[in-house]
Amino acid sequence: MLNQRMVGLGTQRSVIRELFEFGKIRAAEVGAENIFDFSIGNPSVPAPDCVNETALRLIKEMDPVVLHGYTSAQGDAGVRALISDSLNKRFDMNLRPENLYITVGAAAALCCCLNGICTPGAGDEVVVFAPYFPEYKVFIEGAGAKMTLIPADIEAFQIDFEAFEAALNEHTMAVIVNSPNNPCGAVYSEETVKKLAAVLEAASAKFGHPIYLISDEPYREIVFGGATIPFLPKYYKNTLVCYSWSKSLSLPGERLGYVLVPDSVEDQPLVYAAVAGAGRSLGYVNAPSLFQRVCAECAGETADISIYETNKNILTKGLRELGYHVVEPQGTFYIFPRTLIPDDIAFCEKAKDFNLLIVPGTGFGCPGHTRISFCVPTERVERALEAFKKLAEFYKN
């Protein structure tokens, strides 16, 4: 008898995958240039030059047995030293290589944290704010815990503190935050972060155990209008940071990220050991050796992400002029307008008639909205406005 949960996860195609497949069929009929595929969050700008230059140099100069060999499970020591130095400079921290555990992207970083923190069968809960990255539910349930969802504040996509505080209880082990947010592009201000930290301090004291704040930040550098992202370990001591170079360096296929377990975390060596133990139990062994070194040398750099702000401006203005309700994103490469009818699934289905591939908000825990991934060439965004216009006209008539 197979594990039916796994069979389910392996056979149900995600809505995004369905759209992707549909896009390929439709492209054969009407031409790829006429398909407005806003379904997937795959960066559209190339990795910066330092990535290829460093990779080529390492391949030429390093002992291949070392370069392509296993590294320490927690990541090469030199790699972790370069990354901690870079973080210390950027965020005025005092981090050591021992605070970093290098992972196969942010997805693995999240799984290592969740599996390290939660105990299957213990009734553990992890709080998530809608709208949220749908894989959180898969990862949380994979760690044997239950996801507690805080409904979205659809006016601003900020934290509804009343609902949040009401959801915390003795079973709450962790809270996941994602700023800048996939799918809505919201960013939490310093004031919000301070309030969040105060609530978590009080709840940890009340329930007699630390409630970990898991900060999922693969979009940290993709911010607009000079927005700043507070570095959460400075505000809440029991913060675990999950980072990835998938989006900042446009390297999603290379699978590189890390968990940061700062010294401020209570019983840091134990928590770090739990994260590492989870990585071991999940069979990650170590993150890819070549790209550990590439990312460490390019840490702090980004691809040319300016196109995302250009696209965001065009879409925010264009969609509003067409009558769509939009909360302007402050980061990422996603925008999350309200759908023109309450049924977002029907709305996104209708959008296909106009060759617009957009994702229903329901999967992100926020019905009545749709996610548009604008990590595509700007001319595609500009031309898509005509299709969004036709879609709006369809509902007006």
Residues that bind ligand PLP (CB under 6 A): 41, 105-107, 133, 178, 182, 216, 218, 244, 246, 252, 257
DSSP reduced 3-state for 236: coil
For ligand PLP, which is the closer residue by CB, 218 or 233? Answer: 218
Say how far apart CA 174 and CA 70 lie, in whole Å. 32
Q: What is the CA radius of gyration of the chain?
A: 21
Say how far apart CA 328 and CA 201 lie, in whole Å. 31
For ligand PLP, which is the closer residue by CB, 244 or 286? Answer: 244
For ligand PLP, which is the closer residue by CB, 51 or 340? Answer: 51
Q: How far is the CB of 244 from ligand PLP (least distance, A)?
A: 3
For ligand PLP, which is the closer residue by CB, 179 or 362? Answer: 179
Looking at residue 255, the DSSP 8-state letter turns out to be -
Q: How far is the CB of 151 from ligand PLP (least distance, A)?
A: 18
For ligand PLP, which is the closer residue by CB, 46 or 342? Answer: 46
- Give the type of residue at 148: T
* Interstrand relation of 257-260 and 239-244 (parallel, antiparallel or unpaired): antiparallel
Instruction: Tell me the two tokens of residue 33.
Output: 């240039």
Burial of 396 (C-beta count, 10 Å sphere; 0-12/13-18/19+): exposed
Question: How many Å from the N-terminal Cα to the C-terminal Cα in the chain?
Answer: 53
Burial of 87 (C-beta count, 10 Å sphere; 0-12/13-18/19+): buried
The kind and range of the H/E element at 26 are helix 15-30
For ligand PLP, which is the closer residue by CB, 41 or 233? Answer: 41
Q: How far is the CB of 181 from ligand PLP (least distance, A)?
A: 7
Q: How far is the CB of 40 from ligand PLP (least distance, A)?
A: 9
Q: How far is the CB of 346 from ligand PLP (least distance, A)?
A: 25
- Give the type of residue at 262: P
Q: How far is the CB of 218 from ligand PLP (least distance, A)?
A: 5
Residue 228: what are its φ and ψ, rounded to 5°?
-115, 145
Nearest to 310 by CA among 217, 393, 225: 225
DSSP reduced 3-state for 380: helix
For ligand PLP, which is the closer residue by CB, 182 or 238? Answer: 182
Q: How far is the CB of 247 from ligand PLP (least distance, A)?
A: 7
CB atoms within 10 A of CB 106: 28
Residue 173: what are its φ and ψ, rounded to 5°?
-105, -30
Q: How far is the CB of 178 from ligand PLP (least distance, A)?
A: 5
For ligand PLP, which is the closer residue by CB, 286 or 355? Answer: 286
Nearest to 50 by CA among 228, 222, 248: 248
Q: How far is the CB of 331 from ligand PLP (least distance, A)?
A: 11
For ligand PLP, which is the closer residue by CB, 26 or 220? Answer: 220
